[in-house]
Amino acid sequence: MNPPLTWYLLLAAALFAVGTYGLLTRRNAVAILLSIEIMANAVNVNLVAFSRFLNDLAGQVFTLFAISLTVAEVVVGLAIVVLLYRDRDDVRADLADRMRG
């Protein structure tokens, strides 16, 4: 017997909620990026589960796009964090509240 679709969806929802908690409570910008990773990962679980249970390959293709986009997001995010550190000597996200230097 295989686990039903509902189990996968509930697991993904729980992981997404854990990621939300980290996103809201973390102060360090890198830690916030880690939380976003967990949330994106939960969404990928949903996509692949639906792809399997609905017999539609589009879910897997979408997951590949989502993975690539997440990697791109992390690259730009980390570049901004490095820039922030060079400018302020601190990567606490609360301190980055000015749009002008």
Partner 1 sequence: MSVALFLAVAAVLLVASFSVVTGKDLVRSVLWLAVALAGTAVLFVLLQAEFIAAVQILLYTGGIITLMLFGIMLTARITGVRIVVGSAGRIRGALVAIGVFAVTAWAVLASPAAYVAREGPDPESTTRLIGASFLTEYLLAMEVLSLLLLAVMIGAIVLARRRDPS
Which positions from 30 through 69 interact with partner 1, judged by CB under 8 A? 30-31, 33-35, 37-38, 41, 44-45, 48-55, 57-58, 60-61, 63-65, 67-69
Residue 80 touches partner 1, criterion: CB under 8 A: yes
Contacts of 82 (CB under 8 A, 6+ apart): none
For the stretch 14-48, what's the b/e string if a residue is b when 16 or more beta carbons lie within 10 angstroms of its beta carbon? ebbeebeebbeebeebeebbebbbbbbbbbbbbbb
Taking the least distance from each CB to partner 1, the nearer of 58 and 98 is 58
Measured between alpha carbons, how far is 5 from 45 in angstroms, rounded to an integer? 11
Q: Which of 24, 97, 98, 100 binds partner 1 (CB under 8 A)?
A: 24
Distances (CA, A) of 68 to 41, 44, 63: 12, 12, 9
Residue 20 touches partner 1, criterion: CB under 8 A: yes
Residue 95 touches partner 1, criterion: CB under 8 A: no
Residue 22 touches partner 1, criterion: CB under 8 A: yes
CB of 3 to partner 1, least distance (A): 4
**Number of residues near partner 1 (by CB under 8 A):** 71
